[in-house]
Structure 1
Amino acid sequence: MARPKLQDVAARAGVSVTTVSRVLNNRGYLSDDLRRRVNAAIDELGYRPDAIARSLIGQKSGLVGIVVPTVADPFFGELVSAIERSLAGHGYKALLCDCQENAAREAEYLDLLQANRVDGIITSTHNREVAGYDRAELPIVAVDRRLGAHIPVVRGDNRAGGRLATEHLIARGARAPILLTATDHPGNDRATSYREVMTAHGLEPRVRAYGYATPVEDRRALVETWLAETGADGVFATDDLTAMMALEWAHKTGRRVPEDVRVVGYDGSAAVRQGVPGLTTIGQPIERLGARAAQLLVDRIAAPDAETAPEPPLPVALRVGWTS
């Protein structure tokens, strides 16, 4: 009689091969019912992992998953590069998961990474409806995203950044600056600071959120519509690409920058600094963000049960250019 294989166990239990692998390696969230079905099939068939498979169980893979919303954004491309360099210095290789701003795709990647025995995950996505991180059974570090009290967050000082950008626009003469952001919720510290500063100056906050999953051309159309409708004389965009869309709108409509419209972006990636060297922006310490996230994850892999103190935000800086 042929020796039973992993596929035979999966067929007997009525599950996927990936699920059997996860049960064997104790990786990822699985219901008690699934675990019982798989273990029952293993017992019935007399399945035993081969020597190589047995040697892998309980050992480190040397792989880390990096989950980002899109590497097409210069900020995330630069962040991934910084994380990878730091991980390499610790002897780890990275598996990049570009979820393309799609929540279902992110959930699939999370499941895939756990099933394939990565040692940990660094995530910088913003799909608030993906809840699998709470159930993950491996170390996780977030970049600029709050996932839960047990998951450390590495971030720039978004409260300070939002305050610097808004105060700068007002100081340069803007009296109706608009905030353009991906999402508007209580956890958006940049938006919180914008509102606080506007209110303190007796000005009306005006926030427009386009949504993370909005295609680039649709976002551009929304930005142009909002700027035309509101008569904004200033723009605080919470990412540099949206700030560049505002500059394009000003050029197309004959608005002078910064005389008629003042524009401030956010992130300050190397690619944007080279492409639009005069863009006023809030520069993030991207290299430090990546290095710190990698170090934290390596520490958690080595000591998964150790207490982790909250991470203080890393400083940001206003970089003034001709756009304001």
Structure 2
Amino acid sequence: MEQQYDVVVVGGGAAGLSGALALSRARRSVLVVDAGTPRNAPADGVHNYLAREGTPPAELMAAGRAEVAGYGGEVVEGTVTSAERTGDGFRVGLGDGREVRARRLLVTTGLVDELPDVPGVRELWGRDVLHCPYCHGWEVRDQAVGIIGTSAMTVHQALMWRQWTADVTVFLHTAPEPSADELTQLAARGISLVEGEVAALESRDGRLAGVRLASGELVPRHAVVVATRMTARAGLLTSLGLEPVEMEMGGHVFGTHIPADPMGATSVPGVWVAGNVANLQAQVIVAAGAGLTAGAAINADLIAEDTRLAVAALTTSGAR
């Protein structure tokens, strides 16, 4: 027989585990299915997470899994291959061939960073190739940082990173030529501008050595910043009728996400989302908060359904 859960949580990162923790503490039966491919796996530590500053991502997730299990939640490694609506909830197919039933779904599958097509970027991603100053700025403070330009947001990136170091160089690469006003801003902040395309990032002993230009020149840098296109992992949600939409900043599309209300509820009844699949800019602590919010909302929804069913049963028995 198919096992029945109140909630199946797809994705066991900060958002999924926080939602599962809230639901397990609310005495709901919860199954968390996690593929074990977190976005922040290459990072040395989680930052801006109060009282967890610098905790390695794997250590944080292991602690979260143990907390969920301590309240009766079930966490398994694997994938969810399918989800379809049934009369009273959802039938969920797992990668090991099992099928389970869920009254509600919480999807926290995160996003995928699409990296610029520059040799060396992928190999150094998450260590010396960075994207978020709030995540990594302190770790490269006062060091030589390069910004590889790929969009109209390049100058914005450079001005942001200038807060952490005075040694910032913009490699224009494929970004549009800065306006006269932007050039003035860069000059005023002491930010260098290098025209021409980047050929590759070169490393030495596994760490970044510098930026190799198409001209052949090597510009030494300790860290490089890139802009990624952030794409929601939404395949499962698409099968349920939810389509990702583009997200913009300053008129520039930087990714896709699944829209939801402030509590994480989507336009499909019974399906909630939390974390980066819904909010591309959410850091770990924000994703965890969103998971808690969604978990509480799901429990409230289930309470309302339980009450309706109890009232219906009482009315039926009283009519006999």
Query: What TM-score do the two structures reach when normalised by structure 2?
Result: 0.31
Q: Report which of the two has the higher share of helix.
A: 1
Normalization by structure 1: what TM-score? Answer: 0.30
- Report which structure shows greater RCO (CA 8 Å, sep ≥6): 2
